Amino acid sequence: MDFLEFAKERYSCRKFSDKPVEQEKIDKIVKAAMLAPTSVNKQPFKVFEIKGAGNIEKLKKVTPYTFGTSVVLAVGAKKEDAFTRQSDNKNFAEIDATIVATHIMLEVHDLGLGTTWVGYFDEAEMKKDFPQMKDYDFVALFPVGYPADDAQPSPKHDATRAKEEIFEVIE
Ligand X SMILES: Cc1cc2nc3c(=O)[nH]c(=O)nc-3n(C[C@H](O)[C@H](O)[C@H](O)COP(=O)(O)O)c2cc1C
Residues 142-171 that bind ligand X (CB under 6 A): 153-154, 156-157
Name the segment binding ligand X (CB under 6 A); options: 23-31, 40-48, 117-125, 143-151.
117-125
Out of 26, 47, 75, 118, the only residue in the binding site for ligand X (CB under 6 A) is 118
Residue whose CB is less far from ligand X, 9 or 27: 9
* Cβ–Cβ under 8 Å, residues 123 and 65: no
Interatomic CA distance for residues 104 and 99, integer angstroms: 9
For the bound state, the minimum distance from the C-beta of residue 58 to ligand X, rounded and expressed in Å, comes to 17
Torsion angle of C-alpha atoms 25, 65, 55, 114, degrees rounded to 10? -10
Q: Does 119 bind ligand X (CB under 6 A)?
A: yes
Q: Does 117 bind ligand X (CB under 6 A)?
A: yes
Distances from the Cα of 57 to the Cαs of 91, 97, 128, 143, 146, in angstroms?
33, 25, 14, 13, 20
